[in-house]
Amino acid sequence: DVVDEVRKLTDGYGCDVYIEATGHPAAVEQGLHMIRKLGTFVEFSVMREPVTVDWTIIGDTKELNIHGSHLGPYCYPIAMEMLAKGLLPMDRIITHTMPLASFQQGIDLVGAGTQSVKVTLTP
| Buried b / exposed e along 105-118 (16+ C-beta atoms within 10 A) | ebeebbeeeeeeee
Q: How many CA atoms lie within 13 A of 29 on its CB side?
A: 7
- This prediction's pTM: 0.60
pLDDT band at residue 9 under the 50/70/90 scheme: very high
Confidence of residue 72 (pLDDT cuts 50, 70, 90): low
Query: Based on the structure, what is the number of domains in the chain?
Result: 2
Q: Domain check: are 24 and 61 in the same one?
A: yes
Query: Which range of residues forms the domain containing residue 102?
Result: 75-122
User: Over 80: is that where the pLDDT of 76 sits?
Assistant: no
**Do 46 and 80 lie in a common domain?**
no
pLDDT digits (tens, 9 = 90+) for 33-70: 999 999 999 998 878 889 999 999 999 999 999 998 77
Q: Which residue has the higher pLDDT, 123 or 105?
A: 105
CATH number reported for the structural domain that contains residue 21 in this entry: 3.40.50.720
Same-domain status, 47 and 81:
no
Shared domain check, 54 and 30:
yes
| 7 and 62 assigned to the same domain | yes
